[in-house]
Amino acid sequence: MYLAEATPNTIIGNVIVVSGAFILLVVLLRLFAWKQITGIFETRAKKITDDITAAEEAHKEASDLVVQRQEELSHTQEEASQIVDTARVTAAQTRQNLIEETLTEMTKQKAHAADDIANERAAALKAVKGDVANISVQIAEKLIGKSLNAEAQSELIDSYLNKFGE
């Protein structure tokens, strides 16, 4: 025999009791636990929303930092280029200054050497002139056989030097 045939009133009664118990459970949950259950869901939803918002803000900040770092890198490269250009200009100016100083120093040394040469030549000519004067006086005395006075010696020396210089 079938179970449904034996107790048809029992099945309907069971459905009514189970339905009543379910409705009573839902009513009791609604009265006592519904706020806690929905509060947990709301807290969880708020936490998820806050985490998403924080992640979006962190992503935006990271993007801003990337843009800022790229700008700083660009400025740093420009500054480095300017520093290199300035160093090149400074090096060229320093090289030009050193060349000019060297040329000036060489010109001074050349002039100093020329002055020294002229002084040495004048001193040598003076010494030679004195020696030539003494020798020429001795030769003239021997040739002429008499002693010359100072004025005659000077004229004789000058004439010999003039002939010697030509």
Q: If you average pLDDT over residues 63-89, what whole number do you get? A: 91
| Cβ neighbour number for residue 39 with a 10 Å cutoff | 10
Q: Report how far residue 1's alpha carbon sits from residue 8's, in angstroms, rounded to the nearest whole number.
A: 13
Which domain does 156 fall in, by range?
Answer: 3-165
- The whole-number pLDDT of residue 77 equals 87
Q: Is the pLDDT reported for residue 53 higher than 90?
A: yes
Count structural domains, the chain: 1
pTM: 0.40
Give the residue carrying structure tokens 């021997």.
142
